[in-house]
Structure 1
Amino acid sequence: MARPPSITDLVSAEQRAEVLELLDRVTADLPLDELLPRIVDVAAELTGATYGVLAVLDDEGRMRDFHLHGLDDDEMARIGALPVGHGVLGDLLRADRPVLVDHLGSTPGDGTLPEGHPAIDRFLGVGIDHGGRRIGVLYLGERRDGGPFTGHHALLLEWLADRASHVLALADSRRRADRRSEWLQVSARLAELLQPPLEKRRALTHVVELVSWLFHARAVALGRLVDDDLVLVAEDETDTSFGDFVRPEHIAPGTPVHAAVLTAVREHRPVLARVDPTVVVVVPVPLRLTERLVLGIVLRRGAPAPDQEELDLLASFTSQATSSIDRLDALAERAEMLVLADRERIARDLHDVVIQRLFATGLQLQGMRVRLPHEDQERLDVIVGDLDQTIRDIRTTIFELSQVRARSLRQEVGLLTSEYAELLGHAPTVGLHGPLDTTVSSTVADSLLATLREALSNVVKHARARAVEVELRVEAGVLTLLVGDDGVGFDGPLPESGLTNVRRRAQAFGGTVRVVSGAGVGTVLEWTVPLPD
């Protein structure tokens, strides 16, 4: 049986120096941006090709990271978008042997070649495989002498593709090892940050910031799905706001993002959605002791979707985060229970000891009254009246100490406005009026807090305000939120993109939204919702 040709059989004596130089580079510890272009150059030199391309494939089999030979800067500028894998390139992505075409019959812009690409008639390409998976393609176009590509050239290209496969596989192993190291570092950092005592909202913000750094994302947010509406809980934005991205047309029922959110929550796993040219990663964050949230990651335009290993690491990270935050909730709940127990003890002591003593003292004083002169009796009556009022005040205190309070809307509004004080450069003025904690349901409160957060975020982004006023009141069965600033305001129609969610939240409860703004005089947002009887 004839042995397969070796590289020394395929190249001339003059070409062997180039091959040896390439082998030296491949075995050296050099970066990909030095090795891969050299492989393309050697392929063109050994075969006499005019043009050469080595394209690395992502985990979904799409072409990316092109390394080119034979195209100058002006030609690259005319081409613009590089090939995506149609026509003969699509055949090459699936072929298990070299693809050799003497008459391609394609023209720039026909789907095989992008607009502005030089015309190519002769074509030779091979796949770059490793571990049973296609990780790249190497192809050539047109020979400088005008002749066809031959089987000899195909053997040369296969040999070069084999060298490239080792380079790409090694680089991929290094990339994955570096990536795992990054995940380990971030996980360790998360463990450091989520140490008690820590307010829950700040803990969620730490999670969002770390994920944003890991993915170099356009935007990352944690949200709660309320009646098909994504209510933001924590956000980290780089190029854009997650709230701006997840507009009604993106999150409405039937859209890819909405379907991904529902699938992630239902199946407890990360889910990808594509809003071309952007990939959105949706990850469930099931806080077992409090609420179920969803983490949304908007990747940068054209960024490849994370592979399964990356999704597994992300799921593990969110699991670590939820465990830590649940622990914070449990410790906070334990501390609250200790406070409640202490309050009950104080209330019991006040009732059993202090009130009884005061009551006994009052009885004794009243018993002495009949033995005192008239003017002293009047003075004694005043003292006994003061004791009775003190007993009533203590009983009121005992009642308040005995109450196990649910979430206070007043406290939530105070915490939220305090959170924005640093971003605004000053603390907003807050006015709270009426029975907010007893008449506003948790569902309405969630939407109100989301509206207040969005309003304050818009002030931070656009208003350049020196003063901000927040007023919240319940009056005549109506809940009204007013957010006003003295910023630059708007001259002309208001941008609806930032008001769409605000309007939808009000309309969901039969409410209304009114905005008054003027250039140089600031903006006032009025959000009104009727409350049930």
Structure 2
Amino acid sequence: MSTLSGTDVRTDDSYVAGMERLVDAVRDLAGARGLDDVVEIVRHAAREIAAADGATFVLRDNGRCHYVDEDAIAPLWSGHKFPIEQCISGWAMLNAQQVVVPDIYADDRIPHDAYRPTFVKSLVMTPVRAAEPVAAIGVYWASNHEATATERRLLQALADSTAVAMENVRVLAELEERRAFEARKREEWLQACLHITRNLLDGTASDPLPGIAEQARRVAGADTTHVLRLTSDGAEIEVAAAAGDLAIQRPGEQYPLGKTYSGLVIETGQPVRIDNAQTQSRGAVAHSLVSAPIGPLLVVPMIAAGRTRGTMVMARQAGEQTFDEIDVDQATAFANHAAIALEFADARQALDELALREERDRIARDLHDDVVQRLFAAGMSLQALLGTLGDGPGADRLDRSIVDIEKTVAGIRSAIYRMRTPLGLGAAGLRDRVLEVLGEVTPLLSAAPAVRFEGALDVMADPDLVDDVVTVLREALTNVAKHAKASHTWVEISYVPAAGELVVEVTDDGVGLGNPDRRSGTANLAERARRRGGTCVFTSPAPGSEAGTSLRWAVPVA
């Protein structure tokens, strides 16, 4: 017999058996992968180490004691929860002390009524973790028994090993949760990339940038995302798309690269993550794009084919969680994928423009080789016929028809010239603006005006001059529609290099405008010409004449 204390008397064999069982339990706890594993190991090991009639594992659960599971000769409280202040396991955890009770009915801390239906006469309750216990291990005897010091130490050692195992399980669970979280985010970024690719391949997105911005905002958990494209000269960035309720939409607005995060990202080719952009001097542009104070900021480059196309700027409101490493890595990969998508979109647009260009060339050839030649031949035939007629109304009408054919041919030639103008040249130039006005006013007229362009009109770079021409043409055609009662209208816009003049002529076959000097609109046209050093001349028919009205507005052009 080995004497450990006045009441601590065990055989060497039982002590060795207890230690061996503890070692086995510690080894098993080291491999536990979850809380269920810990409970399963501890409830059996505790009973065997203490040679007890029952053991239970109690978990601290929001102010209650949860008797998770047990190993006992008869049922105890498995699955039940009790207020922490009303049970002995709660006392052990609240006081962070091991409790030894030789006689449960002699201890006022025990709720006797709860124990009467059970076999329990004695117990030891050991808290798990010395500071702020998170659980307790209880062992019970069916007869009065005072636990020896060895039994208490072995149970305490088991509780300490259990605390380590539970911490390992918690850390492991966090790691698994983090891995699952990162896997979900990677999957979401991948799906976002696939979404963009599908839209580009099936042609559903004419402009992919808004979709790219929204996908990045959603997956990154940002409040706003802006796509900024590098301008052609590489000196500025331009707002191309925005997403998010707080995003300020400023498409086309440009900013210098200097002292911006986008400039830094484009210069280095590396992403920039800012925890609090409010304290950073480079955040001025980012702040101007969001309608609320921003804190965390993530700016990533959009790189494809070895060149930077722009940046993607993701922002969260002040006080929100910063972007993490997975956001940085995946957003960078997504931005590069988006840049490749833009390259693809540009290539596709180039192919579409090439196809359109070829179709325009075909139509222009058909018009020139077939329609124009037929009209020219018809005009020549009518001209020959006119020579056989004498003077009279019939000859006059035939002469006007020949003039109409000549103007029609001139109009077709202008259309051919426009079709052969490179796509995108003068997209908002004089010809386009004139055609827009004709499209607006034509529904008011008896027939669409015949239009003829002559000279290098597409190089007219003065926007004020173009505005004046558009205003003159709109006013003249509106007057024809309101007052002239004309069947036909002819419009000619020409640049005469020899005279250095831009000339707008509008002619109709109507009854005239009355006295043009009394109309404020025509007076405005004359004033516009006068301010530019030009002239504005109205010619109205005499009463009963079929000569119609003509307007000639001419201004000098450098």
What TM-score, normalized to structure 2?
0.43
Higher-Rg structure is 2
